[in-house]
Amino acid sequence: MAGGYGTRLRPLTYTTPKTMLPICDKPVLHWIIDSLSKQGFDEIIITTNYLEEQIKSYFGDGSDFGVKIYYPKEKEPLGTAGSVKNAEKYLDETFGVIQSDNITEISLAEAIKYHEKKRGIATISLVGVENPWQFGIAELNRKNQIKRFLEKPKPDECFSNLASTGLYVLEPEILDYIPENTPFDFAKDLFPMMLKRGKRLFGYKAEGFWVDVGKPEGYMKATEWIVNQIKKYISETAEIEGKIRGPVYIGENTVIKKGTKIEGPVIIEDGCTIEADAQIQPCSIVKSGVTIGSETRIDKAVMYRNSKIASNARLHECIIAENCEVGNNVEIGKLAVVGPNCKIADSTTVLPGSRIWPDLWVEGHIHGIVRTRI
């Protein structure tokens, strides 16, 4: 399911669909399709709507990824269940559903095996979480049949810490309960309705890493998980005078000048320049064509392609989109997001959690959401 607007990741998603935002060296959806292919799935249906041409252009018919991809046409947003109903002509046997914003090591193939043993109409993969009010939650009986399901309850309404991951295994007959050409949601509409009708829904207690990348904190967790899996690689064309420790990937024609310290795991792609005495801390991502000025400190930050960070800046676990210019002595706080093509003036402070919309020039003390030119 890849048709959402990605509102929680704005301003990044004004120009790029959420599924196509980069996690390390690949778009989110690329990681998902790679995982499904390795599990043995060879036919994938992608339900699209918002900025769909970017998805279709990248993946095509799926042949480059070892799968066959179908794109059912969805003229208007139909919700999660409605979009799957719209793909009904492809779904004539037991099938899996995965959200396009999930980065996970949970096996959908294993969930299907579990589902087939239980012989229910639907199986929801569940994980234990500390903050269940942010998810759909399920209560199970001793046979792991779902007794209750509630989407995003209030904190005092939580009856379980078992959260839905958005990975479902479904029988084709469930599509008979979804109205055609009508917005309809799995968690809010379909699952509660099925339980009221006495249908057998099961919970699969899944194990392994799972995160929803639909918010900045989830995006950063996914980035950290993947970058921690890299192995050390330094291109023969890279010019390195600084000190490197741990697993660090350095791409073609990248220049790292004297006095710079890089502590892996870190990814620095092709054609980057890191000036003297900079510091790059673990779990940082520097995309192609980025320039980082002298004495700048990068701590778990993600910088998209062709952005320029000037001298003595401090970037703390933030996201800087493509083609941005960050001035001297700038500080950008944790989980702040700077949209594409922005310019941040010297000595500006962007407080944690702030968002700067695309194509803006900003200065001063930034807090909250900035949508118009200052």
Residue 205 backbone phi and psi in degrees, to 5: -75, 100
| Tens digit of each residue's pLDDT (9 = 90 or more) over 146-173 | 998 888 888 888 888 888 998 999 999 9
CATH, domain 230-370, list 3.40.630.30, 1.25.40.90, 3.40.50.300, 2.160.10.10: 2.160.10.10
Mean pLDDT for the chain overall: 90
| Tens digit of each residue's pLDDT (9 = 90 or more) over 254-310 | 999 999 999 989 999 999 999 999 999 999 999 999 999 999 999 999 999 999 999
Please, which residues have CB within 8 angstroms of residue 26's CB and are 6 or more apart in sequence? Answer: 34
| Tens digit of each residue's pLDDT (9 = 90 or more) over 40-54 | 999 999 988 777 888
Give the β-pairing of 308-309 and 297-299.
Answer: unpaired
In the beta sheet, which residues pair with residue 13? none
Q: What is the model's pTM?
A: 0.87
Are 254 and 233 in contact, with CB atoms under 8 Å apart?
no
pLDDT mean over 323-335 = 95
C-alpha separations of 41 from 66, 67, 79, 90, 350 in Å: 9, 7, 24, 14, 44
- CATH fold group of domain 7-226: Spore Coat Polysaccharide Biosynthesis Protein SpsA; Chain A (3.90.550)
Is residue 283 left, alpha or beta, with left meaning phi > 0 and alpha meaning psi from -120 to 50? left
Written as one string, the DSSP assignment of 38-80 is: HTT--EEE--B-TTHHHHHHHHTTSGGGTSEEE----SS--HH
For the chain, which residues make up each domain, given as ranges?
7-226, 230-370
| Tens digit of each residue's pLDDT (9 = 90 or more) over 53-105 | 888 889 999 998 889 999 988 777 888 889 899 889 999 999 999 988 889 99
Given this chain, do its domains 7-226 and 230-370 carry the same CATH topology? no
Are 94 and 112 in contact, with CB atoms under 8 Å apart?
yes
In the beta sheet, which residues pair with residue 244? 262
Written as one string, the DSSP assignment of 99-133 is: -TTEEE---HHHHHHHHHHHT-SEEEEEEE-S-GG
CA distance 35 to 240: 34
